[in-house]
Amino acid sequence: MKILSWENFNYCIISITNKCKDKQFSGVYGFPRGGLCLAVAMSHSLNIPYLDELKPGCLVVDDIYETGKTLNNALDIPDTTSFVWYSKVMPEWWNAIEVSSPDEWVVFPWENHTQAEEDMKTYQFSRERSI
């Protein structure tokens, strides 16, 4: 289990900012819930509008890429650039600040750390049932 800190979060924001500082975006959109913290921070860091929906030419952020179910929603939106903090597979059309094992449970700073073990078990159980 990897427990991330707000210091790790700041590193992620700086990394995305450095990779995007020379690009023009219509704004930044973050998928609820995990992408919201990243989107607000990126809005401030790049001085671009926070968007409440996907729009052409926007920066799209999310906390983690596991199955692609969430981030794939950005595929049909023209001229988007997508970043995730953690990807559990090697990035293809999206960008990742960190790549981890598919089996590693990642706990983000805004999550309830004391409940992380239970959240992990619940998630794993739900994945086993969907196979």
The more confident residue out of 91 and 131 is 91
87, 70 Cβ separation under 8 angstroms: no
Query: Does 99 have pLDDT greater than 90?
Result: yes
Which of the four pLDDT bands, split at 50, 70 and 90, describes residue 37? very high
Instruction: Quote the radius of gyration of the chain (alpha carbons, Å).
Output: 15
The pLDDT confidence band at residue 131, using thresholds 50, 70 and 90, is low
pLDDT for position 120? 78
Compute the average pLDDT of residues 57-75: 96
Note the pLDDT of residue 130: 61
Ordered by where they begin, the domains of the chain are 2-129 (3.40.50.2020)
8 with 110: CB under 8 angstroms?
Answer: no
Range 44-63 average pLDDT = 98
* Stronger pLDDT, 113 or 61, i.e. the higher one: 61
DSSP letter string, 59-92: EEEEEEESSSTTGGGGTTSTT-EEEEEEESS--S
